């Protein structure tokens, strides 16, 4: 089965891959020159990842640190650009290191072209990474 190509269907598919902890398949949804941005990233965390390789390196160890269980409160809004959606959601689960609950709110602006994610601007809540075990990026904070 091929991956979906509409932005909404592709985004739903990407969430299922994250819940399945299939990071390689999640990264495969990206365009080679994809751009991932984190405008609210705290000091020591990346604010911009350019290219599929950088995105893969960033996400590689995510499941070792954050065990996602669900994305409740998911709302996807279409925009005047048929390639771009705005997503509101929560990610819930647990932090692997401490077994503490994980509950993060997100707003993302996602653009898809030719069935691949080309741009993902992630406005996640930086307060959530202040918990021990949440730093899956290996940042130097």
Q: 4-56, pLDDT tens digit by residue?
A: 779 999 999 999 999 999 999 999 999 999 999 999 998 888 999 999 999 99
Predicted confidence (pLDDT) at residue 136 exceeds the cutoff of 80:
no
The first and second tokens of residue 56, run together, are 């893969």
Q: How many CB atoms lie within 10 A of CB 23?
A: 16
Residue 42 near residue 125 (C-beta atoms within 8 A): no
Predicted confidence (pLDDT) at residue 71 exceeds the cutoff of 60:
yes
As a whole-number percent, the residues of the chain with pLDDT over 70 amount to 87
The span from the CA of 53 to the CA of 75, in Å, is 29
pLDDT category, 79, cuts 50, 70, 90? Answer: very high
- pLDDT value, residue 139: 42
Q: Which helix (H) or strand (E) holds 11?
A: helix 7-19
Predicted confidence (pLDDT) at residue 95 exceeds the cutoff of 70:
yes
Provide CB contacts within 8 A for 23, sequence distance 6+.
17, 56, 59, 60, 62, 63
Predicted confidence (pLDDT) at residue 69 exceeds the cutoff of 50:
yes
DSSP string, 12-59: HHHHHHHHTT-HHHHHHTEEEEEEEE-TTPPTTS-SEEESHHHHHHHH
Task: Give the mean pLDDT of the chain.
Answer: 89
Provide CB contacts within 8 A for 122, sequence distance 6+.
36, 37, 38, 106, 108
As a whole-number percent, the residues of the chain with pLDDT over 90 amount to 75
pLDDT category, 131, cuts 50, 70, 90? Answer: low
- pLDDT value, residue 45: 85
């Amino acid at each position: 089965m091929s991956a979906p190509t509409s932005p909404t269907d592709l985004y739903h598919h990407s969430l299922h891959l994250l819940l399945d902890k299939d990071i390689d398949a999640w990264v495969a949804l990206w365009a080679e020159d994809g751009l991932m941005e984190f405008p609210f990233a705290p000091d020591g965390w990346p604010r911009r990842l350019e290219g599929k390789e950088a995105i893969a390196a960033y996400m590689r160890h995510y499941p070792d640190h954050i065990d996602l269980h669900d994305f409740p409160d998911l709302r996807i809004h279409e925009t005047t650009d048929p390639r771009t959606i705005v997503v509101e959601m929560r990610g819930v689960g647990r932090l692997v290191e401490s077994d503490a609950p994980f509950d993060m709110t997100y707003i993302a602006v996602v653009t898809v072209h030719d069935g691949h994610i080309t741009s993902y601007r992630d406005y996640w809540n930086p307060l959530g990474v202040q918990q021990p075990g949440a730093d899956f990026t290996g940042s130097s904070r």
